[in-house]
Structure 1
């Protein structure tokens, strides 16, 4: 049986980028059976563009900015495909059969709950070595992945309180805990244009730190919880320090009551063995978190939209997390 696909795209004030993303998605050799765009309160004319240029795409405008994660949850419960494709409003498959290859892999591997595409960014990062065989990873990246609906229904939606960032790690930890696999497909490339609109480094650092702590409270087995909380705090504090003096740690400290409340509200720890397996994957096969320090000569562009995709340097080995 061929799996059907629903595509979910959350957007906020990125009309021109969204136009490219939708156009590329709709010209896939096997396009999704339905596409839903959740507009998180845009004020840049996105709605008018959608109605004029993409009348066949379901467009839902939220009355207020509820956050990326809430929008993705809304898209999941309001679609019907066997699989849910997630791409950002500034990302798209590089090859016309990228989605078809993702679907084929899920069809052939019923124990796999999610496939992580290989992400190429405008600043020269390629997450996985091109040409590598599929391999297990601890999480997918929000701007390019395909989920098996039945697996998500088993482990549940994203924690909406995360608001933005970190939802992929929490979801995948739950999937691993339930006995599923998350697999990277290094030859299925998704280009992430990484629009600067809406990106605030200080906010990203805060939510990365905050949401890592929430995940540990919610999912870490009790015997490991104290150590993992300390490890998550120290690791994120070190990352913040590398970017120079910041107020991020103080803001996270002030948010500790909220962090504990949210984590305990959703507490459903995975088994110790599954948790250790996930940690091992995070150390050995995690997506990269920064561009490589040295870049090779640019590759020749293939089927790339004009002025929207610079060539990227390729990492020589599976990228690791910090």
Structure 2
């Protein structure tokens, strides 16, 4: 692998311990010495940038003195990337195997592939058996915590929408790629552990904010890319089922983020309509036939 081929992008904020573990694991990768590692410190107050300089001097550091958000940071790194391919990892995600770069390069030999989606285990404790019998295949979308871009393809589409703050940006890119017949390829041989317990997030202080942003991002995507008649049905069904199955049954406290998300969506309608890039009905139903993004991976799936 030549020095010009690969960059690894990580955005972080006040999570030095997680970041330190991720970078320590990265150092074990075959070909690490030839890759450019970029860490964007998005307004940390825990001395992250100074600690990076001391413990990982080979890492290129970027910093916002005041946080501007994950999507802003990812856009900046991709727009200033000097390599052919860019790997995106969360600061709490790392490669389990030590020779993944070769699979990434090999997959990009297919010129139709614009993005690689990695196999991801979501949890703090790896299962004993991590073997798989999956094959590479074209999928609808990819996950932010572990994927790779072909930079020539990134430059053909619009940036991630930074004003969304969080959630939905990968699907925003995925619809644009589909309209250009550029593939998102699921590559199970690149195995990432995302060191997060998803079920425990309900106890986090930002859980309701996450719900609000996830719901509104889904509706933003519908209005931007769905045929109008499909949008109206899908939006109504989405709101109805969330009220029926979540708010009226298991999670009544979700009423507040739901109502705030609806208000966010209504206020954003003029901006969304102005930038609407709808799929045709034929494109939409063909897209729906592709396998969904492999968001969670477990040994028995």
SS, match of residue 264 in structure 1? helix
Shift of 1:148: 1.0
Q: Aligned equivalents of 1:243 and 1:288: distance in 2?
A: 23
Could you say if the C-alpha distance between residues 85 and 37 of structure 1 is closer, same or farther in structure 2, counting changes exceeding 3 Å? same
1:34 aligns with 2:41: no
Does residue 59 in structure 1 map to residue 66 in structure 2? no
Structure 2 CA distance, aligned partners of 1:150 and 1:219?
23
- Between the two proteins, the alignment pairs up a number of residues equal to 290
Mean alpha-carbon deviation: is it higher for 36-45 or for 237-246? Answer: 237-246
Q: Which residue of 2 aligns with 1:304?
A: none
The aligned residue for residue 210 of structure 2 is: 204
1:244 aligns with 2:246: no
Q: Counterparts of 1:229 and 1:58 in 2: how far apart (Å)?
A: 43
More helix by share: 2
What's the counterpart of residue 224 of structure 1?
230
* Residues 1:75 and 2:77 are matched in the alignment: yes
Structure 1: gaps of 5 or more residues: 292-312, 317-322
Provide the alpha-carbon RMSD of the alignment: 2.7
Deviations 1:125-180 (A, max 9, x none): 99x98221111221111111011111111122101111111111111111111101
Distance 2:205 2:286 in 1: 32
Q: What TM-score results when the alignment is normalised by the length of structure 1? A: 0.81
Residue 283 of structure 2 corresponds to 274
Moved more, 114-123 or 6-15: 114-123
- 2:9 corresponds to which residue? 8
Unmatched 5+ stretches in structure 2: none
Report whether the alignment pairs 1:286 with 2:286: no
Within the candidate set 262, 268, 272, 1:253 is matched to 262
2:88 to 82, 86, 89: 86
The counterpart of 1:138, out of the listed 131, 140, 158, is: 140
Q: Is the 8 A contact 1:6 1:81 kept in 2?
A: yes
What CA deviation, in whole Å up to 9, does each residue of 1:49-70 have, x standing for no partner? 1111122211111121211111
Change (3 A) 1:182 1:238: farther
CA contact (8 A) 2:143 2:295 kept: no
**Distance 1:91-1:260 versus aligned 2 partners, 3 A rule:** same
C-alpha distance 270-76 of structure 1, shift in aligned 2 (>3 A): same
Q: Does the CA-based 8 Å contact 2:116-2:184 persist in structure 1?
A: yes
Q: Is the 8 A contact 1:40 1:64 kept in 2?
A: yes
Q: Deviation per CA, 1:183-229: give whole Å up to 9, x if none.
A: 11123210111288987221111111000111112222334332233
Distance 1:265-1:159 versus aligned 2 partners, 3 A rule: farther
Q: 1:151 aligns with which of 150, 153, 165?
A: 153
